Amino acid sequence: QQQQQQQQRRHYEELAHKSGFSTEQIKNLHKRFRQLSGNKETISRANLDSIPALANNPIKKQIIDAFFDKRNQRQDDEVGSLEEIGLEQFLMVMSHFRPPAHKSGEEERQAARRQKLRFLFNMHDTDGDGIITLVEYRKELLSKSGAIGHQAAKAIADAAMLEVASTNAPHMAPDDFYEGITFEHFQQILKGLEMESRMHIRFLDVDTTTMRCGKATS
Amino acid sequence: LLLFLFLFFFHQGTQDNDTRAHGDEEHQQGNSTAHRKAFPVLSFNYEYVRKPFEISLWILLALLMKLGFHVIPRVSHVVPESCLLIFVGLLVGGVIKAIRQTAPVLDTDLFFLYLLPPIILDAGYFLPIRPFTENLGTILVFAVVGTLWNAFFVGGAMYGVCQLEGGQLRGVDLLSCLLFGSIVSAVDPVAVLAVFEEIHINELLYILVFGESLLNDAVTVVLYHLFEEFSHAGVVTVADALLGGLCFFVVSCGGILVGAIYGLLGAFTSRFTSHTRVIEPLFVFLYSYMAYLSAEVFHLSGIMSLIACGVVMRPYVEANISHKSYTTVKYFLKMWSSVSETLIFIFLGVSTVAGPHAWNWTFVIVTVVLCLVSRVLGVVGLTFVINKFRIVKLTKKDQFIVAYGGLRGAIAFSLGFLLTGNKMKDLFLTAIITLIFFTVFVQGMTIRPLVELLEVKKKRECDGSINEEIHTQFLDHLLVGIEDICGHYGHHHWKDKLSRFNKAYVKKWLIAGDRSTEPQLLSFYNKMEMKQAMMMVESGGVFGQNERKNTRLITVISKSREMEVRKMLHSNMQKNRQRLRSYSRHDLMMDPFEDDVSEVRFRKQRVEMERRMSHYLTVPAKRPEPPPSVRRVAFEPAHRVYTYDDGEGTPVEARRNASNPVSLLNESGRGFQEEEEEEKEEEQFKALRRLSDPGPKS
């Protein structure tokens, strides 16, 4: 028993080092992981799919895909997707949503922002070629609430691309073709949103009852 | 200056004329029996119009002063407008006193019932909701706990000082001191708005200080009434204190409830106004004013009621009313609040000179010092606690600005004026006035250089772009999803639930027609399109360079042509009215609809633009994908929008007719240009006529 606990603690510390969470948070997240996976070692897409609260979410598929996307594992340019993920991968994805550290310097904030924007970018760039093309953009808008309607979504996507192009490549020659949004352009247009302070959720340190088990999958 | 002279000569004149008028009348009476007087061709009867005349004269004076400041730019850069206005008020008060007239004092009724509501409504209606709700916890803590701390600290310390000082001050008892403390403790929204608007500080700080100044009204009202009651009763029991606490909840929640009810009523009413567009703005104003008055009847917090009403009403009303009505509402609110603010500051100056004063060095100095100290201590202490719960912590710079921005203003003065039967009234009033002057002048003037010095983040200049809107929404959904995966019912989860409830039930009741199901992204997009379209017509050109930040259209032309186009545009722009963006809350953003787009001008511009477009735009080569830079929408009398990018002509779902955009860019001219020019011009002309009077889809 002691041995097991020690081993687990060391495992957690390792994970903490890699993902940046505290051991408390990892413990809570592990509990949740086990709930989702039905006490197995890995989670598959079906597990995440069956979370009832996610059913209303218009971008449910993209979120789930993001968990299985290799690019979000920060493993240096691996593309493709995994079938199942273990605790470590789960934590790596979750680590994109950590709140900014209190006493972070400018560099760290920039790095955090870059990381979060990269996560978002990967969610849009479904084919993994490093560019968000108009088709991908349109598809993403379409999926987000069918209420928008086909034509309107197209129009909005067009206008959005137009905007990106105009702010990032204002002097294109007549024969140029705007390929798509690269990561740099993406960063540029979302510069004003201050992602590092907006894209986070609260991972509580203490084991509180907000981690409700009631609605989890079985 | 001339107006001054005019003003009090008139007063002098009226005094004489009054007597003369009376004399005339009697004389007439007496004489009518005796012999008939000649028919008066020209007579003078000032009494008849006296009251409205004087009011108008005052307002005119105030506005002329405001005008005058902007003519002297150097002064208005250094000194905030509020200071200048108080100064003018002092002058006028001095002049009036010199000619021994009774000056109009800042009557409490006048202030609370007529001057304050427009300002608060203006602020509440245009309150940026997102940052407000994100920081609500912090704002509430500052407003409630901070104000309580200020009140008790200042009151208690004053009492201590009074006892120590002795002499004249010994008669000031604890309750009076606490009453005084509660009056001076509240940060004043009018003063904060007046100063903060000019320094363009970043949104977070603005909303913190401003939100605090709004929400502390409830605390102020409760404390004030509490202590006033107690100071009459003389003795305080624990039960009374508990009742006071209960009262606070009743006052604030009651105020919000009243405001919300009126807001919903207003939204519901606006659903049916499609046939009487002209009176739509009145509904907004009247419902809000009624909310304020109703709350005041029950001694609830009128300010919170007004804010709640504006906030609740706004999204639904804006979806229902026509664009012209919306502009009217915006304009009128800005106008009234501007006038009110000006009048308040001027009256403050006048009342200072006029009012009875009891100057006591110790009392006054100690007040000022204590207020400063307690504010700083309060902010620092509270931030220390708050930062434990905040994700984005407040830095020392932020804390300094929040503390420094805690200005006192006319509300404190009016509350002091309202004190009845308090023997210390004059003493208190003097101290309050000194405090107000100190905060407004010293803090108001120095905050701008300090902001520069400390390099505090300023407000973002650009409007929302469609990309930011898309990604903000995306992010919202994403965060909700992640929270669900974590099983964590956090902030985002509840926000999402609320918005879904709103969409499912509330919108159906409160928004007319099919706009109730219009998703937010679409309405945002429509608004932007409209803005861009009108802006394009305004400037007579299609080419948004980076100077005009609002236009995000691009053109695909070669460099040399770009130069030619630029030159032409430049000359064209100079002909059109150029509105500078001046930095005051009371200036509206460049709103294309403001201009009365006269038909002739429009047509001329369209023709001009067409010609230019066909000359100077090159046609982008064939592209593999439907190119993003190229789109065209045209009109159809049947309120439909066609997009031509794929060559298909399928109509979009008919949106509200008013939001059809004018053609954005010239297209890959697949032979469209020539044929379509005439008909496009025709249609767009028709469309614009429709645009200028949007009604429902009939």
Q: Searching chain B, which residue's CA lies closest to the CA of residue A61?
A: B481
pLDDT above 90: percentage of residues in chain B: 6
- Residue to substitute from A60, A176, A177, interface B, most B β-carbons within 10 A: A177
How much is the pLDDT for B641? Answer: 36
Res. B21: pLDDT tops 50: no
Confidence of residue B4 (pLDDT cuts 50, 70, 90): low
Range from A144-153, B203-212, B489-498 that averages highest in pLDDT: B203-212
Q: Which helix (H) or strand (E) holds B393?
A: none
Domain boundaries, chain B: 108-349+357-454, 479-518
- The average pLDDT across B359-369 equals 83
**How many beta-carbon pairs under 8 angstroms link A with B?**
192
Q: Per-residue pLDDT tens for B245-288?
A: 888 888 888 999 999 999 999 988 888 888 888 888 898 899 99
Q: How many Å lie between the alpha carbon of A85 and the closest alpha carbon of chain B? A: 14
Residue B611 burial (C-beta neighbours within 10 Å; 0-12, 13-18, 19+): exposed
Report the share of chain B in percent with pLDDT over 70.
65
**How do A43-44 and A84-85 pair as beta strands?**
antiparallel
| Contact across the interface for B482 and A36, Cβ inside 8 Å | no
Mean pLDDT over B491-508 rounds to 78
A170 interfaces chain B, CB cutoff of 8 Å: yes
The answer, for B477 touching chain A at a CB cutoff of 8 Å, is yes
The CA distance from B221 to B250, in Å, is 11
Q: Which of B28-37, B176-185, B342-351, B547-556 has the lowest mean pLDDT?
A: B547-556
In this chain, the answer to whether the domains covering A1-99+199-218 and A101-195 adopt an identical fold is yes
pLDDT band at B193 (very low <50, low <70, confident <90, very high): confident
Reported confidence tier of residue B575, pLDDT bands at 50, 70, 90: very low
Boundaries of every domain in chain A: 1-99+199-218, 101-195
Which residue of B485, B528, B652 is in closest CB contact with A51?
B485
Q: Do B466 and A36 touch (CB under 8 A)?
A: no
Task: Report the 10 Å Cβ neighbour count for B535.
Answer: 19
What are A130-184's pLDDT values in tens digits?
777 777 777 777 766 556 677 777 777 777 777 777 776 666 554 455 667 778 8
Chain B residues in contact with A30 by the CB 8 A cut-off are none
**Residue B376 confidence (pLDDT):** 92
- Distance from C-alpha of B258 to C-alpha of B572, rounded to nearest angstrom: 52
**Chain B residues whose beta carbon lies within 8 Å of the beta carbon of residue A106:** none
Q: Which residue out of B468, B486, B546 would a mutagenesis test of the A interface target, given it has the greatest number of A Cβ atoms within 10 Å?
A: B486
Rounded to a whole number of angstroms, the distance from the CA of A173 to the nearest CA of chain B is 6
- CATH code for residues A1-99+199-218: 1.10.238.10
What pLDDT was estimated at residue B610? 56
What is the pLDDT confidence band of residue B697, given thresholds at 50, 70 and 90? very low
Residue B424 has what pLDDT? 73
Query: Is the Cβ pair A155, B486 closer than 8 Å?
Result: no
Query: Which A residues 105-124 touch B at CB under 8 Å?
Result: 120, 123
Q: Label residue B22 by pLDDT band (50, 70, 90).
A: very low
The overall average pLDDT reported for chain B is 71
- List the beta bridge partners of residue A209: none
Can you name the CATH fold of A101-195?
Answer: Recoverin; domain 1 (1.10.238)
pTM for the complete prediction?
Answer: 0.70
Contacts of B392 in chain A (CB under 8 A): 100, 197
What is the CATH number assigned to the segment(s) B108-349+357-454? 1.20.1530.20
pLDDT in the model for residue A204: 60
Residues 6+ apart with CB under 8 A from B138: B208, B386, B390, B394
How confident is the prediction for chain A on average, in pLDDT? 74
pLDDT at position B608, please? 57
Please state, in angstroms and rounded to a whole number, the distance separating the CA atoms of residues B132 and B311. 11
Highest mean pLDDT among A54-63, B644-653, B670-679: A54-63
Please list every residue in chain A whose beta carbon sits closer than 8 Å to the beta carbon of residue B620. 174-175
B495 close contact with A: CB closer than 8 A = no
Q: Mean of the pLDDT values across residues B10-35?
A: 44
B556: closest chain A residue by CA: A174
Contact B214, B189 (CB under 8 A): yes
Give the integer Cα–Cα distance in Å for B190 and B86.
13
**pLDDT tens string B293-350:** 999 898 888 888 999 999 999 888 888 888 888 888 999 999 998 888 888 888 888 8
pLDDT of B638 above 50: no
